[in-house]
Amino acid sequence: MKTKLLLAAGLCASVFFATGCATRVTASGGRETTILGGAVTVATDSFQPTTPAAVLDADTSKLASTGNPTGKKTTLLWGLISLHDY
């Protein structure tokens, strides 16, 4: 019983770490980093509109304004939650 549980935990951990991460340069000159197969995505100099599928879309420049938008966008859970500063 313990060996099956240990084997299942090891398999889940290897799949978790095999998803990896990737960074690419966008057409606007910013960077987009994807972590855990797209579960978390961080983009700089994005200024792109969020997807209509976003359940929670928060504009952080309105929440904590510094007067200078950065263009940074963070999406969680493949775009369901989106935080952007522009």
2: in domain: no
CA distance 24 to 40: 14
Residue 57 — φ and ψ, nearest 5°? Answer: -125, 105
Q: What is the pLDDT of residues 26-73, one digit of tens each?
A: 877 888 888 877 788 888 887 777 777 777 777 776 776 666 777 788
- Largest interatomic CA distance in the chain: 58
With cut-offs at 50, 70 and 90, classify the pLDDT of residue 17: low
Please indicate, yes or no, if residue 10 is contained in any of the structural domains: no
Let me know if residue 31 belongs to a domain. yes
- Those residues whose C-beta lies under 8 Å from the C-beta of residue 52, and which sit 6 or more positions away, are none
> Would 8 be classed as within a structural domain?
no
What domain range includes position 70? 20-84
Output phi, psi for 78, to 5 deg. Answer: 60, 35
- Asked whether residue 4 is domain-assigned, the answer is no
Count of domains for the chain: 1
C-beta separation of 84 from 60 below 8 A: yes
Residue with tokens 């493949």: 78
